[in-house]
Chain A
Amino acid sequence: MIEIIIVSLITIFLIGGAFFTAVAAIGVIRLPDTYTRIHAASKSSTLGVGMTLIGVFIYFAYYQAEIETQLILAIIFIFISAPVGAHMIARSAFHSDVEPYKLTILNELKRDETGSEIETEEHVRLKIERSKDKELDD
Chain B
Amino acid sequence: MTSFVYIIVIFSIIVFAITMLGMLYRTIKGPTLHDRVVTLDAFGVTLMGMIGLLSIVLETTYLLPIIMLIGMVGFIGTVGFAKFLEKGVIIENDRDNNS
Using CB atoms and an 8 Å cutoff, list the residues of chain A in contact with chain B: 3-4, 7, 10-11, 14-15, 17-19, 21-22, 24-26, 28-29, 34, 37-38, 41-42, 45-46, 48-49, 52-53, 56, 59-60, 63-64, 66, 68, 70-71, 73-74, 77-78, 81-82, 84-86, 88-89, 91-93, 95-96, 98
Question: Which residue among A3, A11, A14 has the maximum number of chain B CB atoms within 10 Å of its CB?
Answer: A14
Q: Write out the residue numbers on chain B whose beta carbons fall within 8 Å of the beta carbon of A24.
A: 19, 42, 46
Q: Write out the residue numbers on chain B whose beta carbons fall within 8 Å of the beta carbon of A21.
A: 15-16, 19, 46, 49
Given A14-B9, A89-B34: A60 and B61 interface contact (C-beta under 8 Å): yes
Q: Write out the residue numbers on chain A whose beta carbons fall within 8 Å of the beta carbon of B20.
A: 25
| Interface size grouping (class) on chain B | 35 or more
Which secondary structure characterizes the binding site on chain B?
A: helix
